[in-house]
Structure 1
Amino acid sequence: MAGTTADTTALDRARDVIVKYGFIAVTIVLFIYFALTEPAFATSSSIFSMLKFVSVTAILGLGIMFTMVVGGLDLSIGSVAGLAVQMAALTMVFYNMTGMTAVGVVMLAGVLVGLINAFLIVVCKIPDLLATLGMMFVIQGAKLIPVSGQSVTSGMVLRDGSEAPGRFTEGFLQIDRGFVGPIPLPVVIMLVLVIASWFFLSRTKWGRVMYAIGANPEAARLAGVRVGFYRGLAYVISGLLASVGGMILVSRIGQGDVNAGASSLLEAVAVALVGRSVLGAGKPNAWGTLLGAVLIAIVLTGLTMKGFQYYHQDTAKGAVLILALIFSYTLSRKQIRYTSAT
C-alpha cells in the first residue's frame, strides 16, 4: 500500500512538472532544433520577422483571453479584424481621409461591435457562443455590402465608373512597416498590449473581479459584483483588440482584402488555450498567450524553411491546439468553461 501511494505521488509530481513546464520545454526544444538544422532560423532578422508575422494572432489571442477570463468565448473576433481592414480601406481609399481618421474609425468600429456583443449576451441573455457566432456572420456579410464583395485597392473603379479618389497613406502603412530601433513596430505594439493586459488582469481590482466571475459567476453576483458590467467589458476589450490587430493586418497587405481575418479565429483560440496551460496557470493569462503565439511562429517558420508546403501549416496549427487541450484538460484534470451562466 505504501509503495502504491508513493508511486501515485511520484506520478502526480511528474504530471505537475509536465503541466507547468511542458509548453516552455516544447518551445525551447523546437527553437533549438530549427536553429541547429536551419542556420538562418536563429538570426535576429528571422526572429523579429517571426514575431512580426505572429503579432496579429497574439493580439487577437489577447482578445479571446479576456472573454475566456469571464467564462465566455468571442467567435466574432476574426470577423471584427476583417471589418477593421475594410473600414480602414474605405476611409482612406473611398473617402480620401487621413490615416489618423482611419485609425479612429477602426477603433470605434471595434468598440461598437463589442458593445453589441455585450448587449446580446448581458441584456438579451443569449449564450456567448451563439451571440458572437451570429455577429460573426452578420459582420462577414455586412462588410462586403459597401464594396459589392470586392477588395478595396487604390485606384479601383467605383460603381459610377469613376476612380477611387484616395489611397493608403504612408503614415498608416508604417503601422506594419515602421521600426522602433531594430524592433518592428507591430512587435512593439504586441508587447505593449501583452504587458498592459497582464497588468490589468493581475494587478488591478477589475482584473481580479473578472477572474472571479469566470471561476464562479453566481458567487461573484452574491458578493455584490456587477457581473453583467464586467462580462460586457470583456467583449468591448475583445472588439478593441481585434480592431488593433486588423489595423496591423491592413497596413501589412495594403488593401481592403475581403478575406482578411477569415482564418484568424482558430489561431487566436489556439494561442489563448496555450496561455491557459503555460506554467500550470489553469486560467487564461497574457504571458502564456504570447508564448502560444511564439510557439506557432516557431513551428510555421521552421516548417517553411524546411520546404514544407503551405497546406502543412494548418495541420501544424491543429497539432498545437490539440496539445494545448491535452495540457488543459487531460494532464491538469481541470475544467474550463466556455459559456457563461445565464
Structure 2
Amino acid sequence: MKTDMTARQETESGARQGGQVPKGQTGRRRNEVAVEMAIRYGLLAMLAGMIVLFAILEPFFISTRNVFIILQSVSIVALLALGVTATLVVGGFDLSIGAVAAMALMASSYVMVIWEGSTALAVVFCLFLGALVGFLNGVLIVKARIPDLLATLGMMFLLIGLQLIPTGGRSIATGMTLSDGVTAEGRFAEAFLALGRMRLFDVIPLPVVFMAVLGVALWFFLEKTRWGRVMYAIGGNEKAARLAGANVERYKIAAYMISGVYAAIGGILLAARVGRGDVSSGNSLLLDAVAAALIGFAVLGLRRPNAFGTVIGALFVGTLLNGLTMLNAPYYTQDFIKGVVLVLALVFTFGLRAGRR
C-alpha cells in the first residue's frame, strides 16, 4: 500500500510528464515574476509615471527648454552622488561631499577674485583640494580606524568652518571690500564662467556634458576594469578580498579621493554658474546627493551602488523637485515628498525581495 507522500510524488510526476503544472505552482510562479518585474523596473515605471503626470498637469513641463533646465539642475547633484557611489562600492560612506563642493566653490572664487588668478589655476587648485580631502578621509578611516561616518562627519564640520575663515564669513564677489579695507580687483574670467553657463549648440548646458562624461567614466571604471571589480569585492567582503591579496587600504583611500575630486568638480561648476562665492550655495547638496545614490540601488533591481543607477536617481530627484515647483507646491513639503519617494524606491529594492524569501 502506497503512502500519501509516494502517491503525491507520482501525481506531480504525472502532471509534469503530461505538460501540466498544478494551479498552485502556476499562481506562485506568476507572483514571483510580477515581484521580479516590480523590483527591476518599478523605479523606472515610477519615473515615467511622474513625467506623464506632471506633463498632464503642466504642459510646459515636457518642453525642450524645461528638460534641459532639469538636466542642468541635476548635473551638480549627480556629480556629488557619483562620488558617494565610489565610497559605497568599498563599503564606506562620505558625508563630507557637500562641504567639499562648498569649499571648492569658495576656493575657486577666492583664487579668481582675491588672488586674481587664472581659470586653470582655480580649477587645478580646487581639484587638488578635493583629492587632498579625500586622501585625509581615507587615512582617517583605514589608518586611524575611525568609522567612515564619524570621520567624514568631522571633516564636514572642519571644512564648513575653514571655508569661512579667509573672508570672515562673507561671500566672495567682484569688487568686495576685504577685512583690511582694500577692494578686491579680481573678477571671474569668461572662460571660468563658461564652465557653468556655456551651452553646446546653444542647447546643451556644459555641466550636463560633464555629468554624462564623468558618469560614463565612473561606470566604466567600476564595471569594466579589474580595479573596479576589486572595489566591489572589498565592499562585498573586505576580509575575503584582503585574503585574496587586494590592498584594501589603498583601494579605500582611492575611493575617497574619487569622491573628493567629483565633489570639487561640482563645486567648481556651481561657482561658474552663480558667478560668486556664496557661503550658503552648497548647503542642500549633501542630502540630495545621498538620496540620488541610494535611489540608484533600486534601478534595475541591482541592489548595489552603481553609477548608472546614481545618475537615474539624481534625475528622479531633479524631475520631482522641478515638477513640484512648477505646480507651485509649498517649499516646506518638498523634503517630505523626497523622503516618501526614497522610502518607496528602497521598498522596491529590498522590501519586495525580502518578501520572496
What TM-score, normalized to structure 2?
A: 0.90
Match of 1:217 in 2: 238
Distance 1:250 1:312 in 2: 28
CA RMSD of aligned residues (A): 1.5
Match of 1:205 in 2: 226
Give the letter for the 1:148 counterpart. Answer: G
Distance 2:242 2:120 in 1: 41
Distance 1:333 1:229 in 2: 34
Residue 174 in structure 1 maps to residue 194 in structure 2: yes
Distance 2:349 2:100 in 1: 27
Match of 1:91 in 2: 111
Residue 43 in structure 1 maps to residue 63 in structure 2: yes
Instruction: Say if 2:174 and 2:184, in contact at 8 Å, map to a contact too.
Output: yes
SS of corresponding position for 1:213:
helix
Partner of residue 206 from structure 2, selected from 185, 199, 212: 185
Post-superposition Cα deviations, 1:73-93, rounded to whole Å, max 9, x if no partner, equal: 000011000000110111011
Distance 2:254 2:348 in 1: 29
Partner of residue 72 from structure 2, selected from 45, 52, 63: 52
Give the superposition deviation at 1:15: 1.8
Give the superposition deviation at 1:146: 0.7
Distance 1:141 1:88 in 2: 17
Instruction: Say if 2:296 and 2:306, in contact at 8 Å, map to a contact too.
Output: yes
Taking the TM superposition and a 5 Å limit, the aligned residue runs for 1:109-128 are 109-128=129-148
Give the superposition deviation at 1:263: 1.3
Match of 2:12 in 1: none
Residue 283 in structure 1 maps to residue 304 in structure 2: yes
Post-superposition Cα deviations, 1:92-112, rounded to whole Å, max 9, x if no partner, equal: 111111122111111111000
Equivalent residues, number = 334
Distance 2:136 2:225 in 1: 26
Taking the TM superposition and a 5 Å limit, the aligned residue runs for 1:142-157 are 142-157=162-177
Partner of residue 150 from structure 2, selected from 130, 136, 156: 130
Partner of residue 282 from structure 2, selected from 238, 261, 265: 261
Distance 2:290 2:36 in 1: 24
Distance 2:270 2:116 in 1: 20
Q: Which moved more, 1:6-15 or 1:232-241?
A: 6-15
Partner of residue 16 from structure 1, selected from 36, 44, 57: 36
Distance 2:230 2:104 in 1: 30
Give the superposition deviation at 1:313: 2.1
Give the letter for the 2:257 counterpart. Answer: V
Residue 77 in structure 1 maps to residue 97 in structure 2: yes
Give the superposition deviation at 1:5: 5.1
Residue 68 in structure 1 maps to residue 88 in structure 2: yes
Distance 2:286 2:32 in 1: 34
Instruction: Say if 1:81 and 1:260, in contact at 8 Å, map to a contact too.
Output: no
Q: Which moved more, 1:44-53 or 1:248-257?
A: 248-257
Give the superposition deviation at 1:8: 4.2
Distance 1:64 1:186 in 2: 19
Distance 2:317 2:74 in 1: 8
Give the superposition deviation at 1:329: 2.8
Percent of aligned pairs with the same amino acid: 47
Distance 1:64 1:7 in 2: 41
Instruction: Say if 2:297 and 2:346, in contact at 8 Å, map to a contact too.
Output: no
Give the superposition deviation at 1:291: 0.8
Instruction: Say if 2:303 and 2:350, in contact at 8 Å, map to a contact too.
Output: no
Residue 26 in structure 1 maps to residue 36 in structure 2: no
SS of corresponding position for 1:300:
helix
Give the superposition deviation at 1:3: 5.7
**Residue ranges of structure 2 left out of the alignment (5+ in a row):** 1-7, 9-21
Post-superposition Cα deviations, 1:280-326, rounded to whole Å, max 9, x if no partner, equal: 11111111111111111211111111121322222222222222332
Give the superposition deviation at 1:174: 0.8
Give the superposition deviation at 1:7: 4.5
Distance 2:102 2:145 in 1: 26
SS of corresponding position for 1:146:
coil
Distance 2:344 2:325 in 1: 21
